[in-house]
Structures are given as structure tokens and as C-alpha cells.
Structure 1
Amino acid sequence: MNSTLPPSTPRRATVVTLSALAGVAPSTVTRALKGDTRISQKMRDLIIGLAKEHGYMPNVLARTLSSGKSGLYGLVLGPAENPFYTELLHEATRQAEKLGFRLLIIHAGGGPIEDTTAQALIQYQVDGCIISSAILSSKAADICAQNNVPLVMVNRVALSHGCFVTCDNRAGGAEMAKLLMLRGCRRFGLIYTSSTSSTSREREEGFVAELEQAGLALSLRIDGHSNYDGGFEAGREIAAIPSAERPDAIFALSDIMAMGVLDALRLASIDVPGDILVAGFDGVAASARPIYDLTTIQQPLPLMIQRAFELLRARTVDPSLPDELIAMRGKLIVRGSTGRA
């Protein structure tokens, strides 16, 4: 049997060209490539060998047209300068590869998801979408709902169409307050973000509520703008406060802001944790570096992504499933920025 493609044959092999080479029907080739045991092992081996020899790649568009499913999932990310979203991207990519999914990566930054972004998700025929730290407009949510595109918000809870997988931010904030009070702190500063996200709001609420139960309150509250530069400027502002009036402890609502605070304080020759304690939230890898040694609440990111894909896959099969809200406990990691006692 001659396995050489004729000169007029297109360079990219198709099911039709493989069927001609193998001398069988195209449907037989399709079943063989799927491992259908109704096709003899000898024929399956022959067809798989031909596919490899001629560089055959499945036609994803054809599969989408025939099944209505593309195996493509959208991933909308938060600001690239925050290492949390870089780690989320790497984890989602790793898990998607193991599941045989493909990702359409859309960087949305920290602002709202525009309606055009939702339209793009529809045009690319994604089977579902994971959205992290972006504001979903009600119209964009409606666009996805009307087209049966399931959504899962990760690290965020919104009031629109979709499921939500998040760290228990309120509990994490409360746990951090307990730790700092156990360290003897009585004056507290908070580095917050002006974002309307549920993530930052719940972390602050948990922290403040725990302080109030102990008869304490915040003495300082500074907007860190959800980034390193904002945290650094907040740290400079704190450093300028006379030592007798300065907070005993600073809780930044994200690690990236806490790292900015730490750098500013150390440049001002303020000792951490000798003069002031600093803590963050997220558990990014950089927080463990010796230069930061940052106490933090680590989000269970691998489990959050795993659950997000499970929710999407289930709703791809049955779009009528109700929305779910899943909150997972974060892990308190105590490091040198709050003392290790």
C-alpha cells in the first residue's frame, strides 16, 4: 500500500486523505483515531501510524460544528503586575492541559469586563469561562447567559449570572486580626483598595469585626490601589508618622501591597517586626522570599481552579444546573514579618 501523498494533495492531512491512504471509509478513520474497539487493532495501528507520518491534526472547527462543544475555555485575568494572577494563569494552564482543555486567555485588568469581551467569548464559541478579579457587568453576564456560556468567578463573588469559587476572605481577615492581637498589637493600620470587589471588602470586614469584638478599632486606613506602588506609597506615609503615634501592626489586603509597604518601611530604617508588624493576604510565592518573609493567608489556588473546571464541565453537560457558591478556607502562614513566637 502506497502511503505517499500525491503531489496535488494538500500539505495538511485530513480524515479524507487518511482514509484514501488506508483504503477505508472516513468514518472508519474517525472511529480508529478515537480508539473505537470495533475497529481491529491492526487497522487502528495503521491509521494512527499514517496520522503521525503525515502530521494529521484533528479539525477542531469541524468537531465544534458536529458536537456543539469546542473544548475551549475562556480565562479572564486581573492585573498582570499582581503575581497572584500570574500564579493563577500557570495553575489554570497546567490543569487545563491535564484535562485536555484549551484556554483562550483574555487579560482584562482590574476594571469591568466590557460587553465586547463577552461578545468575543461567544464568537470564539468557548464552552465556559473562568473570570478572576474583574467586574462583570450585568449586560455582559446576560450575553453569556443567553448563549448558555457558563461562568465561574474565581477569587471573586458577584451578583450576576455564574458560579463562584473563592477563599473564605472574611474568615482569613478575622484570623489575621487574632494573630496580631496575640502578638500584643493594639493600634492597627489597614492598607485597603478602593476597588468594589467582594474580595477586599470581605477581608476588611473580617479583620475589623474581630478587632471590634476585642474593643479595638483601626487607627489608620490607607488606599494601596491593589498594587506594589500603592503599597510602597502607603509605607512611606506610615514611616512619616511619629513613632509614638504609628500603628503597631499593618494588615495589607493583598501580598503585593504588603511587599510595597515592607520595602518602604525598610528604606526608612523602620525595623520589621521590631518596630512594626506587617501582614498580607494571598500567599504568593514571592511573599516567602527572605527579603519579605511575609506573614500571609494563603489561598488554596490549586483546589479553587480544580473546582472551577469541575463546575464549568458539569454546566457544559447540563446548563440547567443551579449556580453554586464555594468558599474554601485559606491557610495562615506565620513568618518573620510578624515575629515567629
Structure 2
Amino acid sequence: MKTISILILFLAAGLHARAQLNIVPKNDELKEYTVQNAQPYDSLTNVDERSFAALPGQTLYMHGARNDSQGYYDTFFTGNFLAGSERQIYKDDGRGNTPAEAVVGKYYEVLKVWTRRDYLTAGCCLLLREKESGDEVYFNPYLQPRSMTCLGYYEKLKRYIGQVFFSLAKRVETEDGQIITPPEGAEYRCVDVGLKMNSDGAFLLMEGKDGVRVEAFSIGGDEVYEFVSAARIASLTERYGEKYGRQVAFRKVDTGMTREMVIAAWGEPYHKSENKMEGKTLESWFFSDDRYVGLLDGKVYDVRIY
């Protein structure tokens, strides 16, 4: 009898604990974008999460990913995989891959885009029509994000031609395939825009004062990954002063900077924490690549790069 009483008490406690759980329903709403309801495409970003909803009506060119000799796995389909359609591989080679020659070097019109987001995943499916054959194919942009270039994005890259840039001392590839690291501050000028097959796609061709030409890549807006433009340096110097403006332009963080300067230099941190102590506010900001910034009352007092 005592054992039965204990069991009943345990079950009652379990039911009570379950009743306290805050169950949040999963949000897996599927959104569909067509030419009629697509967001405006500003051509500043290529085929990525920032532009998915604006892509209907645009034309994409499949330049292909690096090392795609084995084809494309889980990337091209004959049905909408986000809507629960059977995941049939487009032109399956018998191993679950789409052969590279079936898709690379072709132009595609974006007919529709579907996006779905829940607490664990983000999904996107593009319905494309291959311009030559008329084939309709569903494309998963997450597995091969750099295999396609939007023609609108490529054309807008030409705005960089003629602009002066300065090196951020990052590794770059020369026209003949060598890897070099120009010294920080070395001056370059954008002379052309190009696109390589089986590579990262569209790039800027920069020429140094020594005549050596190197490749650089836009990262959206008016920023280039390997370089900073003279125009951006001037703008940030006007906003933050000579000392801090130039540091921010060269993506450096230093003591005395404000929150705004840190974000302008490194972007938003992936994690923040805040503590109040003796009337002061201490913040810890954590960034990718093992970078840390400590702020006291809104100003940087500690910078660490591990």
C-alpha cells in the first residue's frame, strides 16, 4: 500500500511539472514570393539570405562551385522540397548527384522563391527555368551559395570601376594565380569586373601601382573584403575624427571607441552580456574569430584577439 501511495505521488508531481512547461508552438510558415510580390532588388547582394525574397524575375548564371567534378549533391530537384514534395534529384547520375555538365554554364530565370524559418532551421527554395531548354528546376541555395551569380549584381559591381582602394593586408590572388599579401595601406584602383568558372564567381580586378592585378570580392553595400575605398575612409574620418575614423575604416578596434565605432569596424557581436557595478555599466561583446571587446559606460576599455 505504501508503494502504491508513493507511485501516485510521483505521477502527480510529474503532471504538475509538465503543467508548468511553457510550450511554444513551432513556427514553420512557408512564404512564397513571385514577380508580383517580390521585394525590390537593389543588386547590392548576390544570391544569399539578404536577397532571396527579391530574386523573382532576376536572371542567374551558374558558374559552378569549386571542385564539382562529382556533381552537386542535394542541390537541384524536380520538386519543391520545402513544400513536402518528394526529393527527386534533377538529372540524377545514379549516386544522388546532379552532374555538373547538366547545370554549369547555363542561364536561369527565377520564377518563384519560397522561404521557411523555424527555431532550428532556415530554408530557401528557388524555382528556376533554364533559358535554353525551358527545364524547370528547384534549387537549394544553402549548400552551394557561391555557385550562382545574379546578372543584376554583376552589372552593379561595375560601380567600383575607377575607384581608389587601400589594402587591408589580406591574401589575394593575382591574375596568374599567385597568392600574395599586399602591405596594409598599399594603393590599388579597380579597373574591371570579371567572373570565373568554378570559383567564387564575380570579382573586382584591382591594379596596384606596380602594375600587378589582383582579385577582390564585394561583401555587400559598398564594402570590399580585401580592401577599403578612399571614399569610405573619408566618410568615416569625417564622422569619427582622424584617429578613430581611419582605424574603423581599416577594421580595427581600439580603447576609447564608442559602441557605434566598434559595430562600424567589426559588425554586430554574436553575443553580449552586461553587468551593473557601483553605478557603472560593464559590457562584454564577443565576435567571431575569437575577438572580444570590453566596454565601460559605452566606451571600449579592453580589446582582445585570441
* TM-score between the two structures when normalised by the length of structure 2: 0.24
Q: Greater helix share, 1 or 2?
A: 1
Which of structures 1 and 2 has the larger relative contact order (alpha carbons within 8 angstroms, sep 6+)? 1
